[in-house]
Amino acid sequence: MVINTNISGQQTANNLRATEANLKKSLNRISSGVRIVEPRDDAAGLAVASRMESRLEQLDGAQSNLLNMSSYMQSQEGTLKNTGRVLQRMGELTLLHKDQSKSAEDRELYNKEFTQLKEVYGQLIAHKFNDVPLFGASSANQVTNSEGTLVTLIQITTPTTASLPNINDATVPPAITIAIDSVAQRRAEVGSNLA
């Protein structure tokens, strides 16, 4: 018995299998849009690409942190702006209340508005951003940058509602002026943090 082999046919079949494998590999790369489909394609390139992808994800996280802190401080600034308006109106009401040419009913209306504005002031300074107080000792004052370092911001505190006197107190005008100055200073501090 004689067994004949077709060597050229086997070589052609082997070449066809190798070409099909290369074609499949090329189509995988083209369809995925990625140069490295498998680690064996470029082991060193894969290591570099993985390190760069990790760094980009860290930068995205840091950017998100910074954007959140910027929004937080913009919320602080807006709240301080409204707080300043409330305090200015309270100062105006104080002076109107002290005018002896006003009737008792008018002065009582000024007193009611003053009391309501004092409550509004308390609500404003209690505002939160994502359940984090905007002002006081527990307010956010740090953000992590792209190197993982904590960046500390100026702690923003405001005068408490208890520090604001009633409209009949003799200390009202100076206390309101001090509170207005304090809020203006805090707005400047927030502005310096935003810069």
pLDDT tens for the 195 residues of the chain, in order: 666 777 888 888 888 899 998 888 777 777 776 666 666 667 777 778 788 888 888 888 888 888 888 888 889 899 999 999 999 999 999 989 988 999 999 999 999 999 999 999 999 988 888 888 888 766 666 777 667 777 666 667 788 888 888 888 877 788 888 888 888 888 888 887 776
Q: Take residue 181 and report the two structure tokens written for it.
A: 């100055």
- Structure-block tokens of residue 67: 């954007």
List of E strands, 60-190: 128-129, 132-133, 142-144, 150-152
Tokens of 158: 């405001």
